[in-house]
A and B are shown apart, each in its own frame.
Chain A
Amino acid sequence: MVKDNKPRKIRLSANPTAEALADLRIGDIVYLDGTVYTAREGVYKRVLEDGIAMPMDLPADSAANFHCSPAATQHDDGSFDLGAVTATASFRFSKWIGPWLAASGAKLIIGKGGMSSKDYREHFVPHGAIYLTTVGYGTGALLGRGVKQVSNLHWKKELGLAQAMWVLDVENFGPFIVESDLDGNSLFERENARISASLDKVYEGTRPAVLKRFGETDDRSDEMI
């Protein structure tokens, strides 16, 4: 099979310039250098809802927030053993993302599956931020290779290993795919639209279930039969 139109591959700083971000197109493949940190619902709640001061100087230390809990252990002597690194689905963090971008100055949100283009337009675009999606999503070993060292682990006691803030020094860390650009376009939504165009044909010869469920109708007074 001929595979033309291979996507572009780009090295990007984890504290990228506005010009570097403007140059990215959705569908580009990106590898990161610098420092990234993990923050998900545990960190968001602590900072945004409980008003607890951040343990890092953001965005000076890093402008790359990774939605992730690594497969890692901290030994009794404080050293780390980090294996694979895989992102967690980002759409669940929608309600915190606007305030978080404002508070953290993050320019790169890295995760699984992207967010909606509404989130991009309302929250990412005003802050000059973009979304990078991990690949697969099971490329945990490749991403693990890109981590040079765990430089810090914040709030382990308060949040547990999975929700704690892991600070990772990375080099050629990837691959990631550019899911949103500075205009708020979404690669996933573009692909969805292309696929949806032919779905009716795929569904030919099937039929809806005899007994419906809520969700297939939003009118709670409807009968399901």
Chain B
Amino acid sequence: MINIELIQKTAESLMAKAAIEIPDDYLTGLQKAANDEDGDLSSFVLEAMLENYVAAKEDRRAMCGDTGCPRWYVKMGNEAQIDGGPIALEAALRRATANATKSVPLRPNRVHPLWRTDHDNNVGIGAPEIEYGFEPDGNWIDLVTVHKGGLFGTDYRMLFPSDGIEGIKRFYLDSLVAFGKRGLACQPAIIGIGLGGSKDSCMVLGKRAACLRMVGDRNPDPKIAALEDEFKELGNNIGMGAMGFVGKSMVIDCNIEVGYCHTGGMQMSVHAFCLSSRRAVARIYDDGRVEFRTDPAWFTDYQRRETVEW
């Protein structure tokens, strides 16, 4: 049985870690981009960002004043049991989100869409989002928090088989160029692309591709992996860098996830995980052990349903 107080305490420290400590994989990617960048203003921006990550850790303050939307991905081993069940788990994650908003502090971003009611704690109707996945075996639970920024940088489009790769590329470039101007997407970003599924699952796939995969990893399908490389290159050759200044740092990495779709369609979504690519992960075992990491390790063969029979 996994202790519910331990879940809440761990969730609170994850909120702080995500807000303050830039994950190593993104940091390494940005350092590389900063070395390669030759646009004078873009270079200045990237250097300032690198200083900013250091300042955040030294002062233990949030790296970005905009908390974005904190959300949770929960993955459970098939044998895991939670003290109080999933209802207690959700309450613990909501409490942790509210408490951390005050203690870090984070910006209370979440308001009612119409009445703009603000509880000043990032909790409300459907907020934070809590999504679930399961894994065969295992008596642990993985808590992943992502603080996803960016009102800009995300788009969805229903393409068709006849749009082909040329159409996919067009929509990809359109998204980067449109939201990259003036740096609205806070690039360079981890770009996640969802292909197929249905409209909602396509958005979910793309967001997870941006937020739950590591910089440098590749889709297990070698042809999709090659597309990821090609798209990263393409994005960095637009001629645009940080803040939309002349430069070549748009994309720290491009991750693509796919799902089977309707035979007549080819849904596509594009998501940008910004300069504050905030994610933090912990695995809690039923014997009370807690292991922190930054790799969500979300996309296993099981999550892609590669290993599930029919």
Contacts and interface: CB of A to CB of B under 8 A. Distances in A.
A206 B170 contact: yes
A145 interface: yes
Contact of B62 (A84, A89, A199, A211): A84
Contacts, number: 207
A141 B62 contact: yes
Given A192-B244, A211-B158, A141 B52 contact: yes
A140 B170 contact: no
Contacts of B159: 209-211
B71 to A, nearest CB: 17
A198 B274 contact: no
A72 interface: yes
A209 B182 CA distance: 25
Interface in A141-169: 141-145, 160-162
B105 A81 contact: yes
A202 interface: yes
Given A136-B52, A162-B108, A3 B61 contact: no
Given A141-B62, A142-B51, A199-B239, A114 B169 contact: no
Interface stretch (A4-12, A17-25, A54-62, A95-103): A4-12
A145 B55 contact: yes
B60 to A, nearest CB: 9
Interface of B: 35-38, 40-41, 43-45, 48-49, 51-53, 55-56, 59, 61-67, 102, 104-109, 111, 116, 118, 120, 149, 151-152, 157-160, 162-163, 166-167, 169-171, 173, 177, 181-184, 186, 234, 237-240, 242-246, 274-276
A-B complex: 10 closest residue pairs judged by Cβ atoms: A86-B65, A140-B65, A206-B170, A141-B56, A84-B62, A84-B65, A138-B64, A71-B107, A138-B275, A83-B61
